[in-house]
Every structure is written in C-alpha cells, then in structure tokens.
Amino acid sequence: MLCQKCKKHAATVHLTEIINNEKQEKHLCEQCAAMDGITGSIGHVPIKGHVQQIMAKFVMSQPEVKETSQLTCDECGMTFLQFRNGGLLGCPNDYEAFKTPLAGLLEKAHEGRTQHVGKIPGGRENKHKRQHAMMRLTRELQDAVDLEDYERAANLRDQIKGLERQ
C-alpha cells in the first residue's frame, strides 16, 4: 500500500481517526507522517503488559481466587500463589494442601481427567497391545476349556499362536 499523501513510498503508519462519528483512515509513509506531526510510536503502544496487569488485578479480586491464593502448606510453608507463579510444588504434602485447586488444574491439563494414565515409550506400544491381547485370549481360552467349549478353545488357541508369530 502506497502513502496516501506522496504516493511514492510504502505506507507504514496507519492512523484511524473518528471525527463527527465518521471513521477516517490515513495510511502514510514515515516521512509524510513526520511532516504531519504523527510519530511512528503512536502505532506501537505496548498494550500486552497493560492487559496482563488489568487481567491479573481482576482475577485476584475474585473471592474464590483470594481464598485459593491464601492456601498454605503446613509442612513447607509454600502458598498456592507461589506454586502458580513458580510452577513447582515444594513438598509431597502440597498435593493434599492444594488438593481442590490442583484438581481443577489437572483436569485442564489432562483433558478432563484427574488421573494420570501414562504413556508407553515409542515403538513398544504394539508389543504392549499384543501382550494384553494374548493375556485376554489366554483367560478366555481357560474359560472355554473349563466350560468344555472345545471348538471355541481351539479357535482361541489359534488366535494366540497367530499373535505369538508376530
């Protein structure tokens, strides 16, 4: 986009003014903006820090946050607010001291679950699934033999042998 004033340079300063309830936009190059008394720093107001401060004040003013931030571990003296700021718990007792707010954090982190299931290291998942399938089939085979369902038992035996070959 070219400067609206000189029509030579690229417009790098973009100004939106509302005059008499009408929106007017100006797209100027640095030189034309400087001649009009508009500095480039107007368009670069560091708003991120201000928004964070406002949000932090709002969140901390909420009653449930005030109560939670004042929770303290009896053993190590760590507050829940210190944990939130640092990200690390101070001792094993913190899990009990901060049980309620931690449950909410864990639910968010683990997609609605509060129990950690764990993961299998890469490359071992298929082996793990095969082992579980073999254990399940072996139990079913034993049940089939106990019930004298030999046809089903033979079928299960063949499935187990197939898994063993993999």
Q: What is the DSSP string of 72-85?
A: B-TTT--BHHHHHH
pLDDT tens-digit readout, 138-159: 999 999 999 999 999 999 999 9
Q: How many angstroms separate the CA atoms of 73 and 153, rounded?
A: 57
The model's pTM is 0.33
Q: How many angstroms separate the CA atoms of 89 and 95, rounded?
A: 8
Asked if 44 contacts 52 with a C-beta cutoff of 8 angstroms, the reply is no
- Tell me the residue ranges of DSSP E strands in the chain: 13-19, 22-28
Pick the more confident residue, 80 or 67. Answer: 80
- The owner of tokens 């005059």 is 19
pLDDT tens-digit readout, 98-135: 888 887 777 777 666 666 666 666 666 677 788 888 99
Of the listed ranges 1-10, 81-90, 115-124, 151-160, the least confidently predicted one is: 115-124
